[in-house]
Amino acid sequence: MHVLIINASPRVKQYSNTDKILGAFTKGLSEEGATFSQYELSDRRSWDEIRNAYYENDNILIAMPLFVECVPGILMEFLETLKSKNDGTKVSFILQGGFYEASQLRCGETYLEMLAKNLGLEYAGTLVKGGNFGIRLAEGEARDKQVEPFKEMGVEFAREGSFFSPKCKAFAGPELFPLPVRIMVGMAFKFAMPSYFTKASKAFGAKKPLNYRPYK
């Protein structure tokens, strides 16, 4: 089995969580004897090459982060340059996000299923997983530990050829946190997180406060 993998994050490879996830996932693929080639949409100079690969391959996996409850704009832009195939090509997706609850990724999942149809591709499922904010910030073993579970999904995908198995479905984790946890998280975001976000934004070089409203 050969898989064409497209990382649809707008972040460059070095900083992309999707790339680290794919690192673990492809280890699992390789363990099962599958081969792959990987491209990044963030490298616009390679779009012609990616388009050619899209037409030449019959097993495509597009991996992406959830950005503002939606699929990344850079993916939409790329898709607009493609023609539909209608030749039995399979497409699968990895849709990953920062927040834990799988429920917020479901709208994107539904969209991706429709997208496959619109492109004349055979839909082979979406692997949904939240809780990935911290991958890029971790290093070494701590990072490996975070992405390790995706290796097992690579093994599963190589064996099944899709993300429809019960193992892949269960991988999504909690659909919604229980009510007490949601209340606690809500309180944390209201009272504790603003000062954390302010510190983090300063560390990233922000010079204005986060509630700065220049046009108000």
Footprint of ligand FMN (CB under 6 A): 9, 11, 16-18, 65-69, 96-99, 104, 130, 132-133, 136
Tell which residue, 40, 31, 47, has the closest CA to residue 64. Answer: 40
30 or 104: whose CB is closer to ligand FMN? 104
129 or 151: whose CB is closer to ligand FMN? 129
Tell which residue, 71, 10, 15, 76, has the closest CA to residue 41. Answer: 10
Name the residue type at position 58: D
3-state secondary structure of 59: strand
12 or 114: whose CB is closer to ligand FMN? 12
Dihedral sign, CA of 118, 120, 124, 127? negative
Whole-number minimum distance, CB 208 to ligand FMN, in Å?
17
* CA 79 – CA 22 distance, rounded (Å): 21
Whole-number minimum distance, CB 131 to ligand FMN, in Å?
8
Whole-number minimum distance, CB 77 to ligand FMN, in Å?
15
CB-based contact 21:63 (threshold 8 Å): yes
Whole-number minimum distance, CB 137 to ligand FMN, in Å?
10
98 or 120: whose CB is closer to ligand FMN? 98
Using Cβ positions, the residue closest to ligand FMN within the complex turns out to be 97
9 or 126: whose CB is closer to ligand FMN? 9
> Checking DSSP bridges between strand 59-65 and strand 90-96, what pairing results, if any?
parallel
